[in-house]
Amino acid sequence: MSSLLWKIRSTHFGNCNCDYGCPCQFNALPTHGDCRAVSAFQIHQGYHGYVSLDGLVVVATYGWPGPVHEGDGQMQLIIDERADPAQRDALCSIMQGEGMEEGAMLILQIYRAMCTEFHPPLFRPIDLNIDYDARTASLKVEGVVETHVSPIKNATTGEEINAQIMLPDGLEFTVAEVAKGTTKGTGAVPLNFENSHAHLVRCDYSSAGIVR
């Protein structure tokens, strides 16, 4: 067992450059050959050792030249500027999948392992709003990244499409609400995709893996 345990209860969204559904979720190759994504976490309750993480926000941007499993990626974290030094260190550790029990594999750990370049984290004001039930979200970090997530709509009727991804043994989630997203990122990891795959997740994560 790891000497320092952590746990977060969060709602988060991910938006990547793939088609709806994201082939990566089904062990398939990315739509356009490469993989670029942003994830934003609203932490409702959390701790890292004795450090409370309640109410904080953290964002991660990623870029791989090919499929994630081929590596050679880059990532950058954007940490809520309200976090104190101990909280900043804790969030950086968690988002890299550190401090996990042996055999507890989490997608955050995989993403970090598949990156050869880890850009210095930014500490900025983060404007994040997520409505899981409505399948909407907005993210803005001034001068770095902006994302808008909304429901997928039927092209003929305009009605919202209610779709989920269910992965009982998933490394990132068990159930996710599927939506579409548009991201513009001008930080260390450039991002530029429109009306591509997005998902919204409610999940507890810990140093022992996903809490199911």
Quick: pLDDT tens for 187-211. Answer: 999 999 999 999 999 999 999 889 8
pLDDT of residue 171: 87
pLDDT of residue 4: 54
Yes or no: say if 151 and 163 are a contact pair by the CB < 8 Å rule: no
What is the C-alpha separation between 60 and 84, in angstroms, rounded? 19
What is the C-alpha separation between 147 and 187, in angstroms, rounded? 13
Distance of CA 47 to the CA centre of its chain: 18
pLDDT of residue 2: 45
Residue identified by tokens 């930080």 is 187
Pairing label, strands 115-118, 73-80: parallel
Distances from the Cα of 169 to the Cα of 158, 166, 174, 203, angstroms: 33, 9, 7, 13
What element of type H or E holds 193? strand 191-206
The model's pTM is: 0.94
pLDDT of residue 105: 72
Q: What are phi and psi of 208, to 5 degrees?
A: -100, 5
Which among 137, 148, 207, 202 is positioned nearest to 176, based on CA atoms?
A: 202
Helix (H/G/I), strand (E/B), else coil: 42 = strand
What is the C-alpha separation between 94 and 79, in angstroms, rounded? 12
Which among 97, 98, 11, 89 is positioned nearest to 57, based on CA atoms?
A: 11
Residue stretches of the chain with pLDDT short of 50: 1-3
Yes or no: say if 39 and 22 are a contact pair by the CB < 8 Å rule: no
Q: CA torsion sign, 174 to 175 to 178 to 181? A: negative
